[in-house]
Structure 1
Amino acid sequence: MAADTRESTSPKQPRTSSAMTEPKAKTYDTFDYPATKENKDSLPGAISNTVVGKQTEPGVVDALKTIKLQDFKEVHKKPCTREGFLAGIGAAFAVGSVRAILGAPIFTACNWAVGAFAFGSFAMHEYCQGKRRREKEGIQKVNAALLEKKIKEEMKREEIRRARRKAKEDSGQ
């Protein structure tokens, strides 16, 4: 009997082919794992690799690697960010000024201002996101009502057509 010339595959060693080429590096919205010997058969951002049998979970370092300078250049384009920053700036100015006028040391007043900025920005951003969510739900309800009304009107028109056809058939006989 002739010996089998194929490469043997084991769960720990995937079969390699000379036709396989390394994929080009792509940027994804989630974690992007470059193809390596360890995870070349897994999808980018996958929690586990079933071919190799090892589990890989993204960590803080992986998350930090996905942050790009372009993200900071376009932060103003995100919804509710402008409102959040403006509210935070106003809160920081108000709280820091009041603390300084009331006689707190400048360093303490600045710390309060930074805290007020963080809290004010976060609170306004969440309020704005909630408002947007309620608006979306309202729009979806209106669209559903309009669709339901359109369907009812179409059913009425179809009923009228049927009645006319029946009347026409009855008068023709």
Structure 2
Amino acid sequence: MQSDTRDSSSARKVETFASLPPSANSLPEGSGQNTAGSHSEPLTLKDAVKTVRFQDFTQVHMYPCVRESFLIGIAGAFGTGSIRAIFGAQIPKATNWAVGTFILVSWGNYELCNYKRTVEKAQMKRVVEVMDLKKAKKMEKENELDKKREERRRKKEEDDMKLEEAKRWGGWKFW
């Protein structure tokens, strides 16, 4: 009896996945402007934690701007903690200042770096557009020059043909 339920549930899964929506770009029913779609049950923190992988933490230094931000944060934390300790603050207090400085400086530098990258991408896109425009104008100008050259060549050939014709008759006139 239990094998029958397994077979019927697997058959339902196949039927569910076999029927494709009319358009892959269409949103689920009732989703409105939300591209995440509608969920029957609310998402929880537990669901969010399940999406985090250990690999995310082992490769964090490979993400853009992170390494530089961490290094600057460490330098700022070391400087702030050292200065607080030198000027008489207790070690736990100096450490708290160092950790706070690390977090603020790392976060600030990361955001600044991302902003610079965004601006640089926009500038590069603009440069590519300008280069494409210049290339199109240059091609248009070359096409115009080619047409003028062709026109001059054709006119010269006509003049040469008339001159040849005049030489061939040798100045003969029938009248």
Specify the SS of the correspondent of 1:91.
helix
Q: Provide the residue aligned with 1:106 in structure 2.
A: 91
Amino acid at match of 1:123: G
RMSD between aligned residues: 2.6
Q: Provide the residue aligned with 1:18 in structure 2.
A: 11
Q: Provide the residue aligned with 1:47 in structure 2.
A: 37
Q: Say which structure is richer in helix.
A: 2
Return the index of the structure with the highest Cα Rg: 2
Displacement of 1:59 in angstroms is 4.0
Q: Does 1:124 align with 2:117?
A: no
TM-score (norm: length of structure 1): 0.66
Contact 1:76 1:82 in 2 (8 A): yes
Amino acid at match of 1:94: G
What is the rounded CA distance, in whole Å, between the counterparts of 1:61 and 1:79 in structure 2? Answer: 28
Q: Provide the residue aligned with 1:64 in structure 2.
A: 49
Amino acid at match of 2:129: A
Displacement of 1:172 in angstroms is 5.0
The one-character-per-residue Cα deviations of 1:43-71 (angstroms, maximum 9, x if unpaired) are xx8422xxxxx645544332221100001
Residues 68-107 of structure 1 mapped to structure 2, 5 A cutoff: 68-107=53-92
Amino acid at match of 2:68: E
Displacement of 1:130 in angstroms is 1.8
TM-score (norm: length of structure 2): 0.65
Q: Structure 1: which 5+ runs fail to align?
A: 1-15, 24-44, 49-53
- Relative to structure 1, is the Cα distance of residues 19 and 166 closer, same or farther in structure 2, using a 3 angstrom cutoff? farther
What is the rounded CA distance, in whole Å, between the counterparts of 2:55 and 2:66 in structure 1? Answer: 16
Structure 1 outlier segments of 4+, above 6 Å: none
Counterpart selection for 1:160 from 136, 141, 145: 145
Contact 1:47 1:57 in 2 (8 A): no
What is the rounded CA distance, in whole Å, between the counterparts of 1:70 and 1:87 in structure 2? Answer: 24
Contact 1:47 1:56 in 2 (8 A): no
What is the rounded CA distance, in whole Å, between the counterparts of 1:17 and 1:108 in structure 2? Answer: 60
What is the rounded CA distance, in whole Å, between the counterparts of 1:131 and 1:17 in structure 2? Answer: 51
